[in-house]
Amino acid sequence: MLRKPQYIALLIVALAGLILLSLPEAAASRVKLAVTTLFLPLFGATETTQAAARRAGNTIVPRSDLIRELEQLRAEKQKLEFNLAQAQEAARENDRLRRLAGLPSRPGWKLKPARVIARDPANWWRTVFIDLGSKDGVRVDLPVVTPEGLAGRVSAVGTTRSQVVLLGDQTCRVAGMVRETAENGIVIPYAPDPSIVTLTYLSRGSAVKPGQTITTSGLELKPGNHVLTSGLGGVFPAGIRIGEIVDVRSDGFGLYQSARVRLAVNLNALDHVWVVAQ
Amino acid sequence: MNRLETIFILCAAWLAVAFEISFPGFRQLLGFQISLLPPLMVYVALSNSLPGIVLLSLIGGVASDAFSANPIGISTLALAGTGMLLHHNRDLVLRDQAYAQVAMGLLATALTPALVVLALMNTQHPVLLTWRLFGQWLGTALIGGICTPFIFRFFALLNRWFSYQALPESHFRDTRQIKRTRI
């Protein structure tokens, strides 16, 4: 049997826990972001340590390596300048044609660099915290990307920090599209492997048996096909890379198909990300 | 409860949460993050008093949930439940023995996330139960068990450094003194 002080302690904790659990979602989110303020010294210390490590690393790199890297970067810069000129010309042409066709011009992306400052301690969720908040213009549902592809979306915003829910989490569903076949589906988590997601609700092809090729809309979905965001749903802009198809299977008693997609971004090694402010 | 030890426990809870949120090494190496709050709760439950358990579960649980997608307060209840269970049965545990510390660490690190997942199953976003999650749970429990004796050693060291140590009594007693007098 529990003794009286134990009952009192249990009551205090249970009461505090229940009060916190019964908070409205907005209030709970505010409390969470307020509690993270306690860890500001940690974020500052991490940044300082990383900067110091970078500075220390810079002092020991041999000059010959730096010169070689500089030459490589110069060559790459020239190549990218050509590509940029081509892309700018294509964009101008696209704008001109859109105007002629009476279509509204496509807004460009404004990218804001952010640093990942904390990760979800629970193994069953996939969220991170970044060092941008409402004072930097970040809003809920803004997409978060890396140069490799889509990472997730902003789920909660504080003044100087935001929570990002990553691809593969149950609360992050994305409208996806197979680039080669223009087939639309929804990206949902694939529980057994965090580096893979499922692109599901793809339109049904011909009857499928093991070993047969699956066809959809007259085009084959193959391993290696690229999956991008489709822009449907209004949260993620179209054309952001999600990953590559690993395999395709019939699902829902043959009503639709699902494809396993290996993510382009290594979410376990996220360090710097970009918030897409449209 | 020793006030200094309470401060140490709260600092350790802060450090444990800071480690969990900012150290990606285990996540990259093993594919999961280890949890240090349950081993800390074992120490508090076996060596400290009830206010220590209440404080650790409130501060540690809320701080852990603040960085997680868990509803805030859910880890508080799980930590408190584990702490109360251990504290209630602490007379039956040989808390100075390393194997007992490992066993209790294993139990606490397995029980705390299990309670959280159990509670989450009744929310809007239940956790997907997979073999992978089961493997991570076992791995976390194992590492938590291994970490527990080190936490006991660490706090023993802190207590030795900062707490008042009673001086050993002298064998000299006034009553037994042989008074030398002139005959």
Give all domains of chain B, ordered by start, each with its CATH number.
3-163 (1.10.1760)
B48 touching A (Cβ < 8 Å): no
pTM of the model: 0.80
A198 touching B (Cβ < 8 Å): no
DSSP lists the bridge partners of residue A263 as A243
Q: What 3-state DSSP class applies to A98?
A: helix
H helix count then E strand count, chain B: 7, 0
- Contact at 8 Å (CB) between B172 and A155? no
Distance separating alpha carbons of residues B85 and B42, to the nearest angstrom:
10
> Which of A225, A216, A210, A212 is closest to A260 using CA atoms?
A225
Residue A263 makes CB contacts below 8 A (sequence gap 6+) with A149, A167, A168, A195, A196, A197, A242, A243
Partners of residue B71 in chain A, C-beta under 8 Å: 20-21, 28
Report A:83-142 residues touching B (Cβ under 8 A).
117-125, 127, 129
Q: Which pLDDT band holds residue B149 (cuts at 50, 70, 90)?
A: very high
Q: In percent, how much of chain A has pLDDT > 90?
A: 30
Instruction: Indicate if the pLDDT at residue A106 is higher than 50.
Output: yes
User: What is the ipTM metric for this complex?
Assistant: 0.81
Q: Which pLDDT band holds residue A275 (cuts at 50, 70, 90)?
A: very high
Q: Which pLDDT band holds residue A218 (cuts at 50, 70, 90)?
A: very low
Distance from CA of A177 to the nearest CA of B (A): 25
Distance separating alpha carbons of residues B11 and A204, to the nearest angstrom:
57
What is the interface size between A and B, counted as CB pairs within 8 Å?
Answer: 145
Report B:75-104 residues touching A (Cβ under 8 A).
76-77, 80, 84, 87-88
Structure confidence by residue, pLDDT tens digits, A118-151: 899 998 889 999 989 999 989 999 999 999 999 9
Residue of chain A with shortest Cα separation from B64: A121
Instruction: Indicate if the pLDDT at residue A8 is higher than 70.
Output: yes
Q: What is the largest CA-CA distance in chain B?
A: 96
Q: Which two tokens stand for residue A244?
A: 């590559």
In this predicted structure, which of A203-207, B61-65, B76-80, B106-110 has the lowest mean pLDDT?
A203-207
Is there a contact between B27 and A124 if contact means CB atoms under 8 Å apart?
no
Partners of residue A38 in chain B, C-beta under 8 Å: 14, 63
Structure confidence by residue, pLDDT tens digits, A24-78: 888 888 888 888 888 878 777 877 887 888 888 888 888 888 899 999 999 999 9
In this predicted structure, which of A7-11, A89-93, B53-57 has the lowest mean pLDDT?
A7-11
Structure confidence by residue, pLDDT tens digits, A76-104: 999 999 999 999 999 899 889 988 988 88
Residue B55 makes CB contacts below 8 A (sequence gap 6+) with B6, B9, B10
Instruction: Indicate if the pLDDT at residue A278 is higher than 70.
Output: no
Instruction: Indicate if the pLDDT at residue A161 is higher than 60.
Output: yes
Structure confidence by residue, pLDDT tens digits, B167-180: 777 777 777 777 77
Q: What confidence score (pLDDT) does residue A212 get?
A: 57
Is there a contact between B67 and A192 if contact means CB atoms under 8 Å apart?
no
A41 touching B (Cβ < 8 Å): no
Q: How many CB atoms lie within 10 A of CB A122?
A: 24
DSSP lists the bridge partners of residue A196 as A262
Is there a contact between A38 and B63 if contact means CB atoms under 8 Å apart?
yes
Q: What confidence score (pLDDT) does residue B117 get?
A: 93
Q: What confidence score (pLDDT) does residue B27 get?
A: 84
